[in-house]
Amino acid sequence: MIIPAVISCIVAFFTVYLTTPYLIKFLQKRNLAVPDVNKKDRIMVVRPGGPSIIAGIIASELALYGFFQINEILAIII
């Protein structure tokens, strides 16, 4: 049970890690960057970052479904 959990975490991490730069570029082209209010400099950050996190969750659940193939995992994805 440990190996599927570790693989699922690794899949989720790399999915978020690889999709975030593309999401940032896409959102910057759409002018969805706002100033970071927690910094003294006017650093611009894009919003929303949720789509890459959701992609990581779905990829993780699909990896788990590949190991266990139970309907509860599909219910979580839906």
Tens digits of pLDDT across the chain (78 residues): 899 999 999 999 999 999 999 999 999 999 999 998 888 888 888 989 899 999 999 999 999 999 999 999 999 989
pLDDT at residue 40 in the model: 86
Q: Delimit the domains of the chain by residue range.
A: 1-73
pLDDT at residue 42 in the model: 84
Contact predicate 57/11, CB 8 Å = no
Return d(Cα 29, Cα 44) in angstroms, integer. 13
pLDDT at residue 57 in the model: 96
